[in-house]
Structures are given as C-alpha cells and as structure tokens.
C-alpha cells in the first residue's frame, strides 16, 4: 500500500478525506485502489486557502459490470468547506485514457497519494505508456490551455495573476512533449515540468516569483499580463497546432486488447466484498 502525504498538508483535512473514502467504499460497495490529490497542491503551486481536491478511481463488483442496468461511472460527494472528493469508475478512466485524456495520467503520477495499491498504479501507468497516443494528449493540453487563455487573459487589461498558472501548465506540458518525441506522459508537478521543459530564463524567473508569492497569500492581485509569459504561452500554442495536428486514426487493435486485459485483471484482483484496498 502506497501513501505519500507531505508535511504541509493539514492533518485534520487528510483524516477527514480518509474517513470519507472509507465511507464511500462501505456505502457504494466499491474498491478504491487509487486516491490522490489532484489540485494545485499536487501541481506544486498552492495558496494557503486552496481546496483539497481528492480524486479516486473505484472498482465495482464483476456482477455490476455484467448487469443490463449499469450504475453511474462517477461517485460525487458534497462539497464540504475546502474538501472536494470525487471519483471515476476504472472503466471510465481506461476509456478516457485511450482518448488521450491527460487527467487520468495526472492522477496516476500525482506526487500526493492518500492511498494506492502498488500493483494497480504501476500497471495502469504502464498501460498508459503503452497505449496513449501522444498527439491526443497534446491536443488535450492545447484545448485546455487555449480555453484558459481566452477565458481569463487580455493583453491590454489587468488579469488575476493566479490564473496564469492554468494556461502556463498546458503550455509547459506541450513544450515538454515536443522536446521528447517518444514520450506521452508529462510530469504533473509543475515545478518539475518547468525545470524539464527548459523555458526562457525570464519566464522561469517570473514563474518562480509568482509561485513563491502564491504559497503565502490568498490573492496575488491583478496586473497586466507579463509580455514574456504571454509570448511563451502563445508561442507554445502556435507551435503545438502545427506539431500536434491531431490524430484521427483508430486505436491499434493491440491497444484495445491491452486495455481489456488490464480491466479484466483489475476485476479479478478486486472482486471480493468487503472491498479491500488490496488483494493478498
């Protein structure tokens, strides 16, 4: 069983998340082989008032998957203060992975783990590296980044500086992928991502300053978009539109076979109720 909780995480919040996950397993009769932190704390640029965004992958019993009357493929719990706890069915997660949804990859590589079955995380990440089409992952980041750019930033008006991170992260991921033609799994942790994608020195300095400020204040305030940051974001999006021009091909048959095999093995390992986190 894997667990990685940094010292800066509030112990009370972590305990309440652990309790909520146990309640979900009992009430919904599911196994949860992976539960991680997915928000700004895991990305590496939290504010003092950042939410706790716990995300998990759950597994139902084999009979549930064989039923004509399928149960929901998400489990959502009510927001409670700064606690946000929601999860996806493993089948949903696998299918989204095959479509290039980078969220699943980020969950599998999150540096903050409430608990994880070692086999599940390792094999799911291995499947990702085997079947993910990097062009699809890149298009995910491009669409995400462009949406943030258009929604929050205007070059001639002041913008909320903390929103910069939500366009910077996709831009850095696209740069990282472009520099590594054989890779499809970019780091989730933003400081690691920025270091490995080697951005211009001015951008690196601005991001480091904003990250340090964001860690100690609830509001960075508003200012004009730094020209160096705007140029970096727009340049990476422009290049990505050419380098990653989409991939409309059907998935190779081998990818579907591998995904099915992993899904069946997951059901075998987590078939027993009470829904154990691991199977001996």
Structural domains in the chain (count): 2
Residue 212 and residue 161 share a domain: yes
Residue 140 and residue 84 share a domain: no
With respect to residue 276, please indicate whether it lies within any of the assigned structural domains.
Answer: no
**Residue of 152, 180, 185, 183 lying closest to 168 (CA atoms):** 152
With respect to residue 64, please indicate whether it lies within any of the assigned structural domains.
Answer: yes
Residue 126 and residue 7 share a domain: yes
**What is the band of 223 on the pLDDT scale with cuts at 50, 70, 90?**
confident
Of 252 and 147, the structure prediction assigns the larger pLDDT to 147
Is 123:93 a contact under the CB 8 Å cutoff?
A: no
Residue 164 and residue 75 share a domain: no
Residue 258 and residue 140 share a domain: no
With respect to residue 214, please indicate whether it lies within any of the assigned structural domains.
Answer: yes
With respect to residue 99, please indicate whether it lies within any of the assigned structural domains.
Answer: yes
Residue range 244-257: average pLDDT?
79
Three-state DSSP at 4 gives: strand
What does the block give as tokens for 140?
A: 């995910």
Strands 74-76 and 52-59: unpaired
Of 275 and 226, the structure prediction assigns the larger pLDDT to 226
With respect to residue 8, please indicate whether it lies within any of the assigned structural domains.
Answer: yes
Is 199:172 a contact under the CB 8 Å cutoff?
A: yes
Give residue 249's pLDDT: 64
Residue range 142-168: average pLDDT?
85
Residue 188 and residue 99 share a domain: no
Residue 71 and residue 148 share a domain: no
Residue 122 and residue 17 share a domain: yes
**What is the band of 203 on the pLDDT scale with cuts at 50, 70, 90?**
very high
Give residue 129's pLDDT: 93
Evaluate the CA torsion angle 213, 219, 223, 229 in order and state its sign.
Answer: positive
With respect to residue 277, please indicate whether it lies within any of the assigned structural domains.
Answer: no
Residue range 58-85: average pLDDT?
94
Residue 155 and residue 17 share a domain: no
List Cβ<8 Å contacts ≥24 apart for 257-260: 258/127, 258/130, 258/131, 259/94, 259/97, 259/98, 259/127, 259/131
Average per-residue pLDDT in the chain? 90
Three-state DSSP at 90 gives: helix
Structural domain span for residue 89: 2-131+251-269
Contacts of 201 (CB under 8 A, 6+ apart): none
Res. 116: pLDDT tops 90: yes
């Amino acid at each position: 069983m894997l667990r990685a909780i940094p010292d800066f995480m509030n112990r009370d919040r972590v305990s309440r998340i652990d309790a909520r996950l146990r309640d979900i397993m009992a009430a919904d009769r599911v196994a949860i082989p992976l539960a991680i932190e997915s928000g700004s704390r895991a990305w590496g640029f939290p504010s003092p008032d950042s939410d706790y965004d716990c995300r998990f992958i759950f597994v139902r019993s084999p009979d549930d998957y064989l039923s004509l009357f399928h149960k929901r493929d998400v489990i959502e719990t009510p927001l409670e203060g700064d606690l946000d706890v929601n999860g996806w069915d493993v089948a949903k997660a696998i299918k989204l992975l095959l479509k290039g949804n980078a969220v699943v990859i980020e969950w599998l590589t999150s540096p903050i783990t409430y608990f994880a079955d070692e086999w599940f995380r390792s094999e799911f990440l291995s499947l990702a590296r085997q079947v993910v089409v990097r062009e699809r992952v890149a298009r995910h980041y491009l669409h995400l980044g462009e949406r943030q750019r258009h929604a929050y930033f205007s070059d001639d008006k002041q913008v909320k500086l903390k929103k910069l991170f939500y366009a910077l992260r996709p831009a850095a991921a696209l740069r990282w992928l472009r520099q590594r033609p054989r890779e499809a799994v970019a780091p989730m942790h933003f400081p690691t991502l920025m270091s490995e994608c080697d951005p211009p020195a001015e951008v690196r300095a601005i991001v480091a300053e904003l990250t340090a400020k964001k860690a100690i204040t609830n509001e960075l305030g508003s200012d004009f978009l730094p020209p160096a940051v705007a140029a970096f974001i727009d340049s990476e999006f422009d290049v990505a539109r050419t380098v990653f021009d989409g991939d409309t091909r059907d998935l190779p048959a081998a990818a579907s076979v591998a995904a099915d095999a992993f899904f069946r093995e997951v059901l075998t390992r987590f078939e027993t109720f009470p829904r154990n986190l691991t199977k001996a």
